[in-house]
Amino acid sequence: MNAPEAVYETSLKGLALKTRGKVRDIYEIDDSLMLIVTTDRISAFDVVLSDPIPGKGRVLTALSNFWFDRLRGAVQNHLCPAIRLDHIVSDESERAQLRGRAIVVKKLRPLPIEAIVRGYLAGSAWKEYQTSGIVCGIKLPAHLPQAGKLPETLFTPSTKADIGDHDRSISIEQTAALIGKDLGEQIRAVSLELYARAADYARQRGIIIADTKFEFGLDQAGALYWIDEALTPDSSRFWPADQYRTGISPPSFDKQFVRDYLESLRWNKRPPAPRLPAAVIAKTAEKYREAERRLTG
């Protein structure tokens, strides 16, 4: 078996690099199109690690493409599948490196919020609930357990943090102040619908989608598009349904091994991050592949 070579960073001869995010390298194609390459970089505690997870970018791309297509009835998305990579990248070895991890997308204006939807009480919401009984301004019933299903699915938007900063959750009023009341309401409705449809499907595949984060953008005419990535282990909390129970933080299909490992060290969570042992890398890669297998296999 030959393991796929990891792609940590790309540099394409024929295209101008627009930005490098924590995970994605973005290239200009023309005024209206961009090439997004999902690399194998992984971030933990908002720090990009120096070790890639081989194949992770391909898994994220395959899962996003799967959900964008499956849920296209709910909202249009940024993909331009009709434009083939061969027409954008002429170098054969570059194309080989990009295969399965590059998408051509409409260049849109990203909205300055992250549309977070929560079906279960986990992560930062669980922390907030324990201290105040409130999650993002929403008063919840008393005595809900950790990882418990919420009585109602919550829409809890947050601001998009600048590099090195952490996202901050915001109220519906603050959301309206940032993007307008009507657009805020539209995003709320679309996000809840995407989550409901995806959670329903995933449940039949043995996965609970505890929560997820969507991003949206506008075109020149002001039309709304779903952008970035779609319901991946990087943007969502996926729990294997057969291991689900309340009162604990259930195991998940994401960078949990990486986080657990880093938590076991004395690291102040500022760059540079410690190197990862090979076993942690292999286990994490396997978790990502398993999520893809279960959802799309």
Query: Which residues make up the interface to ligand ATP (CB under 6 A)?
Result: 21-24, 26, 43, 78, 105-108, 110, 215, 217, 227-228
Helix then strand count (H, E) for the chain reads: 8, 15
Q: Cis link prior to 151 (omega < 30° from 0)?
A: no
Write down the least CB distance from residue 235 to ligand ATP, Å.
7
Give the nearer residue to ligand ATP in terms of CB position, either 94 or 234.
234
State the SS3 of 190-216. HHHHHHHHHHHHHHHCCEEEEEEEEEE
Residue 23, burial from CB neighbour count under 10 angstroms (0-12, 13-18, 19+): buried
> Least distance in Å: CB of 93 to ligand ATP?
24
Closest to ligand ATP by CB, 54 vs 217, is 217
Q: Which tokens sit at 45? A: 């505690």
Nearest distance from residue 148's CB to ligand ATP, in Å? 27
Cα–Cα distance between 49 and 276 in angstroms, integer? 8
Q: Is residue 105 helix, strand or coil?
A: strand
| Other CB atoms within 10 A of residue 73 CB | 8
Q: Which is nearer to ligand ATP, 43 or 76 (CB)?
A: 43
Least CB distance to ligand ATP at residue 77 (A): 9
Residue with Cβ nearer ligand ATP (168 or 245):
168
Question: Whose CB is nearest to ligand ATP?
Answer: 21
- For 56, which DSSP code? H
Closest approach of ligand ATP to the CB of residue 226, in Å: 9
User: Least separation, in Å, of the C-beta of 26 and ligand ATP?
Assistant: 6
Radius of gyration of the chain (CA): 19
Q: Which is nearer to ligand ATP, 108 or 154 (CB)?
A: 108
Separation of alpha carbons 75 and 98, rounded Å:
27
* Residue 39 in tokens: 């690399």
Q: Which is closer to ligand ATP, CB of 119 or CB of 217?
A: 217
Give me the residue label for tokens 């109602």: 152
